[in-house]
Homo-oligomer: A and B are copies of this chain.
Amino acid sequence: MLRHIQLNSSGKLNHLLSTEGLPKPLILSILKRSNDFLTFDNQILIKRSKSLSGKSVFNIFFENSTRTSTTFEIAAKRLSADVINFNVDTSSTSKGESLLDTVDNFVAMQADMFVVRHYSSGASVLIAQHINKVAPHIHVMNAGDGSHAHPTQALLDMFTIQHFKGDFSNLRVAIIGDVVHSRVARSNIHALSTLGCPDIRVIGPSTLLPSNLSDLGVHGFNDMDHGLSEVDVVIVLRLQNERMTSTTLPSEHEYFQCYGLTEKRLLNAKSDVIVLHPGPMNRGVEIDSKVCDGPHSVILTQVTFGIAVRMAVMDILSNG
């Protein structure tokens, strides 16, 4: 179903809601287009383009995330779009208006593209289904919905992995942390599978790993050293502070003892392993400072690539 909503009748990308259901050639074309927005010289530089000139991009955030909102704003502005930032938590929903009424109002203001973050899983799908009925010319990008999906994060992770590793067909990738609640993990697993990654692993306490691992084609590990063995890529998930207060997790200190990524533990991986993190990082909780700042970390490169990947998605949605 997610494939059907995301692609139009010619199989072109119409909304980006999830990496689930995206065909491999389409993912590869997004990664290729992202490269067009980067210059690799001594430094990686993001280009500017006129490709969304005269278009209006609405950043509609039902969940506060200034940083994610900022990366979409930068991407849209570098494509010459007009950007309207709208934080709904301080606005109409507090006045009792329904989600789709809020959306209808933005449609009537003649947006060309919506970037939506919402605290509820499935909100972006609901919005896209509605948009297809009332305003099929508008494109919807999911910037994170509940624990469902965060497709641009996954695509920038794929771009980063491709950049450093070239090909997915021989890779061993480990995702560490609260996998079961993570939209980043879920979107990464779908993208890695589609791109042909043969060995995807998730590492964490059993309470934080999904129960349907085999359906996902993923191997589960409770032990870090074992799970990290000979991996090419490590994706460290952020430990959500709000979950620390619940009973499913020990203290931050205990978590770090068991699942914090340290230099020593990283020795289990291949010598040219790369370490990714979606940010913001909790140093000393899910990752040790020496790893963040060490030679294997590509965490800040991800941020730069994230702008280019979001530009690529907006460009493809708008111009094909």
Contact = CB atoms under 8 A, between A and B. Distances in A.
A1 interface: no
Contacts of A180: none
B301 A108 contact: yes
Interface in A241-258: 241
A56 interface: yes
Interface residues of A, number: 48
Contacts of A107: 300
A303 B46 CA distance: 36
Given A97-B279, A101-B281, A280-B95, A109 B301 contact: no
Interface stretch (A65-73, A117-125, A210-218, A222-230): A65-73
A92 B74 contact: no
Interface stretch (A83-91, A147-155, A162-170): A83-91
Contacts of A73: 84
Contacts of A92: 66-67, 279-280
Top 8 closest pairs, chain A to chain B, by CB? A108-B303, A97-B280, A66-B91, A108-B300, A92-B280, A108-B304, A95-B280, A96-B282
Given A82-B77, A307-B110, A280 B104 contact: no
A280 B307 CA distance: 34
Given A82-B77, A96-B280, A97-B281, A109 B70 contact: yes
Interface string A100-119: 01101101111000000000
A6 to B, nearest CB: 24
A320 interface: no
A87 B45 CA distance: 25
